[in-house]
Amino acid sequence: MTLTQAQFLKTSSAHLFFETAGQGFPLVFVHGLGIDCRCWEPQWAYFAARYQVIRYDVRGFGQSTYASEPVPHAPDEDLQAILDFLNVEKAHLVGLSMGGNVVLGFAARHPQRVAKLVAVDADVQGFADYSEDFRQMFREVYQTGREKGPLKAKLAWAKNPLLQPVVVNIHTQSLETMLRDYSGIHLTDPRLLPAYQPPTRQLLPHIEAPTLIITGEEDIEDFQRMAAFLMEEILSSHRIRIENAGHMPNLENPEVFNRVLEEFLDI
């Protein structure tokens, strides 16, 4: 049984929920849009056997909240606050989708604090080559959020192809719970999404850490193109596709995902 410690960190602008377990070199997991840190459950005990694993709810997701009225923020602020609180000078970072954008920007802005970097089906802020279908999907969700509020927006978001797992198992079944618990606030105003200035796309050349780019083999084409773009922009990077998986390979095919991640961290 993995002994997990749950804590809250209060900053001037947020109340951040995070969990830690295990001992060893720090390994941080960052979740995607509409879900929370529980999405890393298939990785938690596995990597806690060798690492100090850390996962947290991004501001406005899961149990993390804004300290007052929701305002835009740079996501490296919260990650840096948690690392500082835990006295972590350097860590491996793993981010899924929106979380991939968080860790990419953090690695570019704080290269001295990142040992290895893993971007899983990362949504790269500032990427320009989206399909019209992808753009329309987000326009409809945000329009629903503005006109009908966060609950209706969450229902619209839940129907998008990114949250339709290729493989249904005990892990992907947790998506419904995480979506139910999500506030939906970011879907009413996209300015509240964690975002860097300048956008992450422009920061990528500053990444120094060895980088693994993971995509689910059956994720939509937009994320395949983003992964190819990351390969071009990040000097020390390579890419692996995980079969029998879509946008969330850590949930859909966790055995293969864990093996791929472990092998990269052991290099």
Reading the block at residue 190, the tokens are 């996209």
Mean pLDDT, rounded, for 134-144: 94
Using a 10 angstrom Cβ sphere, with 0-12 exposed, 13-18 middle and 19 or more buried, the burial of residue 23 is exposed
Domain map (residue ranges) of the chain: 4-266
Give the CA angle between residues 77, 58, 198 to the nearest 5°: 45
* Overall average pLDDT of the 128-150 stretch: 94
Q: How far is CA 245 from CA 88, 189, 216, 228, 264, in A?
A: 32, 30, 5, 18, 19
CA 193 to chain CA centroid, Å, is 12
Residue 26: phi and psi, rounded to 5, are -65, 140
168-186 pLDDT, tens digit per residue, is 999 999 999 999 999 999 9
User: CB of 21 within 8 A of CB of 53?
Assistant: yes
Extract the tokens encoding 194: 């964690």
Residues 6+ apart with CB under 8 A from 181: 36, 62
The closest of 207, 2, 215 to 97, measured between CA atoms, is 215
Interval 235-242 mean pLDDT:
96
Top mean pLDDT of 43-52, 58-67, 178-187 is at 43-52
What CA–CA distance (Å, rounded) separates 24 from 42? 19
- What pLDDT, on a 0 to 100 scale, did the predictor assign at position 179? 94
Q: CATH second-level architecture of 4-266? A: 3-Layer(aba) Sandwich (3.40)
pTM across the whole model: 0.97
Q: What percent of the chain has pLDDT over 90?
A: 95
- 228-253 per-residue burial string, b: 16 or more CB within 10 A, e: under 16: ebbeebbeebeebbbeebbbbbbbbb
Residue 215: in which H helix or E strand, if any? strand 211-216
Q: Give the model's pLDDT for residue 151.
A: 92
Confidence of residue 50 (pLDDT cuts 50, 70, 90): very high
Compute the distance between CA of residue 39 and CA of residue 42 in angstroms, rounded to an integer. Answer: 8
Residue 209 has pLDDT above 80, yes or no: yes
Mean per-residue pLDDT, 211-230? 97
Residue 1, pLDDT above cutoff 70: no
Is the bond into 198 cis (omega within 30 degrees of 0)?
A: yes
